[in-house]
């Protein structure tokens, strides 16, 4: 089932690139450009592997598709996907805005859930209800620019109901900011 899901993801995202591929068999095929971010354990830039990288790479090998995986800041990866500068992007959450320029399979490459992280000595406890954070001027939240966390969290963020946000262009930088106590809650 997982391979079927991955194949559907890649096929649906790459179909326009496949249709536009050159037919000259004498030249080496141009690799498809896959964009992602450094997001352990899904995609790890330093070792160029991770759960998502391994699945996508293995699928491309089985389909005899040459690919090049590029690690970019998330906003840039989204921008490249929007303008067609990359042929596929992973891993990302489906949103109505993104559906305007991306094709999603019926099943995700892998399920993603958002979580809240706080220092071990923090009095903050998540009770499962986002409402506990609405209007809390005493709490700051760390996020990565351009990332979607969930429809409900994104709505609270966009409507200003979660007021104090600290953001970074890359997820690993957001984690470093958290470890430096730049905000109270890492999303």
- pLDDT tens profile 20-48: 444 455 577 899 999 999 988 889 999 99
* Residue stretches of the chain with pLDDT short of 50: 1-23
CATH code of 82's domain: 3.40.190.10
Q: Is residue 45 part of a domain?
A: yes
Cβ count within 10 A of residue 140: 15
Residue 108 domain-assigned (yes or no): no
End-of-domain residue from the set 47, 76, 99: 99
Beta-carbon contacts of 106 under 8 Å, excluding residues fewer than 6 positions away, are 8
Q: Taking the alpha carbons of 97, 75, 178, 184 in that order, is the dihedral positive or negative?
A: negative
State residue 141's pLDDT score. 96
Number of structural domains in the chain:
2
Are residues 138 and 84 located together in one domain of the fold? no
Q: pTM higher than 0.85, yes or no?
A: no
Backbone φ and ψ for 36, nearest 5 degrees, come out as -155, -175
Asked if residue 13 has a cis previous peptide bond (ω within 30° of 0), the answer is: no
Residues 69 and 155 occupy one common structural domain:
no
Domain that holds residue 93: 2-20+30-99
Residue finishing a domain among 99, 118, 138 = 99
Same domain, 6 and 64: yes
Please report the beta strands in the chain, taking only residues with DSSP state E, as ranges in sequence order: 32-36, 67-71, 88-89, 140-144, 164-168, 185-186
Are 88 and 146 part of one and the same domain? Answer: no
Q: Are residues 87 and 155 in the same domain?
A: no
- What pLDDT score was predicted for residue 26? 58
140 with 72, same domain?
Answer: no
- Asked if residue 116 is part of any domain, the answer here is no
Q: What pLDDT, in 10s, does the model give residues 109-129?
A: 777 778 899 999 999 999 889
């Amino acid at each position: 089932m997982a391979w079927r899901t991955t194949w559907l993801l890649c096929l649906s995202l790459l179909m326009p690139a496949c249709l536009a591929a050159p037919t000259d068999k004498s030249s080496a095929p141009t690799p498809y450009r896959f964009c992602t971010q450094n997001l352990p354990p899904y995609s790890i830039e330093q070792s160029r592997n991770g759960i998502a990288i391994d699945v996508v790479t293995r699928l491309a090998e089985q389909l005899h598709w040459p690919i090049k995986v590029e690690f970019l800041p998330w906003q840039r990866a989204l921008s490249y996907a929007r303008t067609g500068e990359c042929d596929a992007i992973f891993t990302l959450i489906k949103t109505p805005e993104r559906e305007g320029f991306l094709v999603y399979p019926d099943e995700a490459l892998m399920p993603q859930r958002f979580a809240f992280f706080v220092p071990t000595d923090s009095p903050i406890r998540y009770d499962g209800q986002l409402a506990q954070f609405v209007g809390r001027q005493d709490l700051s939240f760390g996020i990565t620019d351009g990332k979607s966390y969930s429809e409900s969290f994104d709505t609270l963020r966009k409507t200003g109901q979660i007021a104090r946000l600290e953001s970074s262009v890359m997820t690993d930088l957001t984690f470093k900011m958290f470890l430096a106590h730049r905000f109270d809650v890492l999303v």
